[in-house]
Amino acid sequence: MSERPMAERIQSDRVFLRGVELHATHGLLEEEARLGQRFIVDIDWWLDAGDAAAHDDYSETVGYEKVFEVIHEVSTGHRFHILEAFAQAIAEAVLARFPRVEKVRVELHKPSAPIAGIFRDAGVEITRTR
């Protein structure tokens, strides 16, 4: 069985953005809506970046700043009660806006979650595919 030439291989490359900090009013409690709090987003998206790499062409990939803009748009466009809904909205927006993206993983951190105890972080991680 011979190996296919590089040009014929199916490729899936991962691009990521870490530590996107937001101040937003998401959450169940009235204080969260009134005061807001810090959220941190880590996001990965998979696409075939072979053409972009071969041609050194930005137009053939999905850039970090475009995904950054989507995260901010989702965060300010609606108030979410639960992190799962917020993370899913980010993932769905990335998939809808960028047809090249095959899969997206959103890790959403809420380090100041209203918990009566000592903890470092709370959050959710979701993965969505086309």
Catalytic residues, by residue number, are 110
Following CA atoms 52, 54, 56, 61 in sequence, which dihedral angle do they give, to the nearest 10 degrees?
10
The CA distances from residue 118 to 70, 81, 106, 113, in Å, are: 32, 22, 25, 11
Strands 13-24 and 123-129, sheet pairing: unpaired
Write the Ramachandran bin of 36: left for phi over 0, alpha for psi from -120 to 50, otherwise beta.
left
Residues contacting 13, CB < 8 A, separation 6+: 46, 47, 48, 49, 50, 53
> Which residues on neighbouring strands pair with residue 84, listed in sequence order?
none
